[in-house]
């Protein structure tokens, strides 16, 4: 089969990590007999430099015309980059938010899984890690604070800024259904996270989640306040299967969950709408401080490409092969710098030798385990 993949390399480490994911897709193509035709799409800071805006209408049309889009990362150093002198709606992130909205990518899946091989990179104590953990953060992606009305105004000489957090029952219901559907294919537990002791939007969230839950009697569910959830993620991450939450809470909790798995460089993500189309990106940022050094971890992007194969192209065997290859490379002891064991952890666990590798070498090693 031939597939059309939109590629947004983006800024910072984006081009480096996307290059490795493409390498892996090409390897999958040659082993399994598929052709991936890539169309490069500009978004973020590089688009601002080239066109003056973070996302052009042409770029949106190109994304829409693809079977799926693979993305690296966008944005720069918010303190030093000239992109952040621009009005907020012209900054790099505005491009990503517009793309999510235009393509109706309301369901963001962020799997956080601790590879056994990466126990030494996990900041939690061994007794907390136990047999490891495996959770899926389902983040609502096109509503809430990110897309509410916002303004900054001078009220009687006092600068005052307002952001609005709005959710309709329709928006809540569709993401809740996705969350329960996914839980059904996993360990059948949903933790819905909100701040219902304070926010109206959270009280509606809770009510609608309860209604949806009634249609899934086989799935256990609970409500948890977001501050408690932040604590539970480091206290006992094993308790979680699917974490279902709104946009802003999901943004914060998914970064936290990623660190618990050892590094944000391991966390893949899929942003889906009601069709097969999806945008696949690592959950981490553009890491401008290490851009161009060839040391960024490409695994989250490679695993995002695996999600692309699975969710948008229905190529489950191919996705399994990519995930198994990543596991194998970790098992053989290869690590990018961010997932190198901390010295004391290495001594204590007395684990096998590990070898530090760069971005491209990691990509090559993963390719080497596909189709062998």
Per annotation, catalytic residue among 3, 23, 194, 195: 195
- The answer to whether the CB of 138 falls within 8 A of the CB of 107 is yes
A 10 A CB-CB count for 274 gives 11
β-pair partners for 223: 192
Q: Is 318 in the site for Mg ion (CB under 5 A)?
A: no
Q: Least CB distance from residue 307 to Mg ion, whole Å?
A: 17
Per annotation, catalytic residue among 11, 241, 251, 338: 251
Q: Is 261 left (phi over 0), alpha (psi -120 to 50) or beta?
A: alpha
Verify whether residue 195 is a known catalytic residue: yes
Nearer residue to ligand IPM within complex by CB, 241 or 251: 251
- The answer to whether the CB of 150 falls within 8 A of the CB of 162 is yes
Nearest residue to the partner Mg ion, using Cβ: 251
Please tell me the distance from the alpha carbon of residue 25 to that of residue 361, in angstroms, as a whole number: 16
For residue 299, give the nearest of 361, 228, 214 by alpha carbon.
361
> With the CA atoms of 36, 109, 75 and 325 taken in that order, what torsion angle do they form, in degrees rounded to the nearest 10?
-50
Q: Which helix (H) or strand (E) holds 101?
A: helix 92-102
Q: Is 140 in the site for Mg ion (CB under 5 A)?
A: no
Verify whether residue 251 is a known catalytic residue: yes
Partner in contact with 359, chosen from Mg ion, ligand IPM, none, beta carbon below 5 to 8 Å by kind: none
Per annotation, catalytic residue among 3, 11, 67, 146: 146
- Binding segment for Mg ion (CB under 5 A), chosen from 13-21, 120-128, 246-254, 330-338, is 246-254
Q: What is the DSSP letter of 192?
A: E
CA 203 to chain centre: 26
Nearer residue to Mg ion within complex by CB, 110 or 310: 110
Q: Is 251 in the site for Mg ion (CB under 5 A)?
A: yes
Per annotation, catalytic residue among 26, 134, 181, 255: 255
Q: Least CB distance from residue 343 to Mg ion, whole Å?
A: 29
Partner in contact with 140, chosen from ligand IPM, Mg ion, none, beta carbon below 5 to 8 Å by kind: none
- The answer to whether the CB of 113 falls within 8 A of the CB of 220 is no
Nearer residue to Mg ion within complex by CB, 66 or 269: 269
Please tell me the distance from the alpha carbon of residue 215 to that of residue 330, in angstroms, as a whole number: 40
- Provide the binding-site residues for ligand IPM, judged by CB under 6 A: 75, 93, 96, 251, 283
Per annotation, catalytic residue among 89, 227, 274, 314: 227
Nearer residue to ligand IPM within complex by CB, 263 or 283: 283
Q: Which helix (H) or strand (E) holds 227?
A: helix 226-235
Verify whether residue 255 is a known catalytic residue: yes
Nearer residue to Mg ion within complex by CB, 79 or 158: 79
Nearest residue to the partner ligand IPM, using Cβ: 93
Q: Least CB distance from residue 18 to ligand IPM, whole Å?
A: 15
Q: Least CB distance from residue 141 to ligand IPM, whole Å?
A: 7
**What separation in angstroms does the CA of 19 have from each of 78, 85, 139, 299?**
25, 29, 27, 12
Active site residues: 146, 195, 227, 251, 255
Binding site for Mg ion (CB under 5 A): 251
């Amino acid at each position: 089969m031939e597939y059309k993949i939109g590629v947004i390399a983006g800024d910072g480490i984006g081009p480096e990590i996307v290059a490795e994911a493409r390498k892996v897709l090409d390897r999958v193509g040659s082993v399994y007999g598929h052709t991936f035709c890539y169309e490069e799409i500009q978004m973020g800071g590089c688009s601002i430099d080239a066109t003056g805006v973070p996302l052009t209408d042409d770029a949106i049309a190109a994304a829409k015309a693809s079977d799926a889009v693979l993305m690296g990362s966008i944005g720069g150093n918010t303190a030093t980059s000239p992109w952040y002198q621009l009005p907020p709606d012209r900054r790099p992130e505005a491009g990503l938010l517009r793309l999510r909205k235009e393509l109706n990518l309301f369901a963001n899946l962020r799997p956080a899984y601790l590879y056994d091989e990466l126990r030494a990179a996990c900041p939690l104590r061994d007794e907390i890690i136990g047999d490891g953990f495996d959770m899926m953060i389902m983040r609502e992606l096109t509503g809430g604070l990110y897309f509410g009305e916002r303004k900054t105004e001078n009220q009687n000489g006092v600068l005052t800024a307002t952001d609005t957090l709005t959710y309709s029952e329709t928006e809540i219901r569709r993401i809740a259904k996705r969350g329960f559907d996914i839980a059904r294919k996993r360990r059948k537990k949903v933790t819905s996270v909100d701040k219902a002791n304070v926010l109206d939007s959270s009280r509606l969230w809770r009510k609608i989640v309860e209604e949806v839950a009634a249609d899934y009697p086989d799935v256990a569910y609970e409500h948890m306040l977001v501050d408690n959830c932040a604590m539970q993620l480091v206290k006992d991450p094993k308790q979680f299967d699917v974490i279902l939450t709104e946009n802003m809470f999901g943004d914060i909790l998914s970064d936290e969950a990623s660190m618990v798995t050892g590094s944000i460089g391991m966390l893949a993500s899929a942003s889906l709408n009601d069709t097969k189309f999806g945008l696949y990106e690592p959950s981490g940022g553009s890491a401008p401080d290490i851009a161009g050094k060839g040391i960024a971890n490409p695994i989250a992007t490679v695993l995002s490409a695996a999600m692309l194969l699975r969710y948008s192209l229905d190529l489950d065997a191919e996705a399994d092969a990519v995930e198994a290859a990543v596991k194998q490379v970790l098992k053989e002891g290869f690590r990018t710098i961010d997932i190198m064991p901390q010295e004391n952890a290495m001594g204590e666990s007395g684990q096998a030798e590990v070898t530090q590798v760069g971005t491209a070498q990691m990509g090559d090693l993963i390719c080497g385990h596909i189709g062998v």
